[in-house]
C-alpha cells in the first residue's frame, strides 16, 4: 500500500522528481503524476472556494446594518445589535480561517501560531479556539 501522506510530504518538500517518487514507492510513474495532478486540482478548487467566500464575507461586512434589528415597540427608537447575526458571521469567519489553514502546508501549526477568534459583544467576550 502506498503511503500517500509521505509521498505528498516529499513532493512538497521539493528536490524530488516524479520518477524518483515512483521508484521510491514502487509504483508506476503515471500513478504518481495522476495522484499529484488530482491533489493539485483539489487544492486549486479549495483555493477558489476560499477566495469566493472571502469576497462574500467582505461584501457582507460592508453593510453593517445587517447586524442590527429595529427596537420593539415601547423600547425606544434605537436599533439593537442582532447577536445571532454576529455569531453567524463569526462562524463563517472561523470556517474561512480553517479553510485557509487547510490550504497551507500539511505541517502542524506551531504553539504560538494557534489562533483564537474573539468577538466582543457590548462588554462581554466570547472566544472560539481552533
CA distance 34 to 74: 66
Give the end-to-end CA distance of the chain in Å, rounded to a whole number.
32
**Both 126 and 67 in a single domain?**
yes
**Both 40 and 84 in a single domain?**
no
In this structure, how many other beta carbons lie within 10 angstroms of the beta carbon of residue 21?
22
Q: What pairs with residue 121 in β-bridges? A: 124
**Both 10 and 35 in a single domain?**
yes
Q: Is the pLDDT of residue 23 over 90?
A: yes
Residue 89 contacts residue 67 (beta carbons within 8 Å): yes
Note if the pTM is more than 0.75: no
| Per-residue pLDDT tens digits for 27-75 | 999 998 888 888 877 778 888 888 888 888 888 778 777 788 887 776 6
**Average pLDDT of the chain?**
76
Higher pLDDT, 128 or 118: 118
Task: Evaluate whether residue 117 is within a structural domain.
Answer: yes
**Both 43 and 73 in a single domain?**
no
CA distance 101 to 95: 10
The pLDDT-based confidence of 110 (bands split at 50, 70, 90) is very low
**Both 129 and 91 in a single domain?**
yes
Task: Evaluate whether residue 56 is within a structural domain.
Answer: no
Task: Evaluate whether residue 88 is within a structural domain.
Answer: yes
Look-up of cell digits 463563517: 92
Q: Is the pLDDT of residue 76 over 90?
A: no
**Both 76 and 124 in a single domain?**
yes
What is the domain extent for residue 91? Answer: 63-105+113-130
Task: Evaluate whether residue 54 is within a structural domain.
Answer: no
Task: Evaluate whether residue 57 is within a structural domain.
Answer: no
The alpha carbon of residue 56 and the mean position of all alpha carbons in its chain are separated, in whole angstroms, by 14
Number of domains forming the structure of the chain: 2
Quick one: what percent of the chain has pLDDT higher than 90?
A: 9
From the list 3, 69, 74, the residue with the least C-alpha distance to 35 is: 3
Task: Evaluate whether residue 55 is within a structural domain.
Answer: no
Task: Evaluate whether residue 86 is within a structural domain.
Answer: yes
**Both 119 and 80 in a single domain?**
yes
Task: Evaluate whether residue 123 is within a structural domain.
Answer: yes
Residue 119 contacts residue 106 (beta carbons within 8 Å): no
The pLDDT-based confidence of 119 (bands split at 50, 70, 90) is low
Amino acid at each position: 500500500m502506498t503511503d500517500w501522506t509521505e509521498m505528498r510530504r516529499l513532493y512538497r518538500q521539493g528536490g524530488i522528481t516524479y520518477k524518483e517518487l515512483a521508484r521510491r514507492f514502487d509504483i508506476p510513474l503515471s500513478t504518481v503524476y495522476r495522484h499529484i495532478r488530482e491533489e493539485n486540482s483539489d487544492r486549486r478548487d479549495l483555493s477558489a472556494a476560499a477566495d469566493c467566500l472571502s469576497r462574500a464575507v467582505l461584501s457582507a461586512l460592508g453593510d453593517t446594518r445587517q447586524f442590527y434589528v429595529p427596537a420593539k415597540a415601547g423600547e425606544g427608537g434605537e436599533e439593537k445589535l442582532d447577536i445571532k447575526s454576529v455569531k453567524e458571521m463569526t462562524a463563517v469567519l472561523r470556517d474561512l480561517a480553517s479553510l485557509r489553514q487547510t490550504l497551507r502546508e500539511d505541517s502542524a501549526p506551531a504553539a504560538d501560531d494557534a489562533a483564537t477568534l474573539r468577538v466582543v459583544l457590548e462588554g462581554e467576550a466570547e472566544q472560539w479556539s481552533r
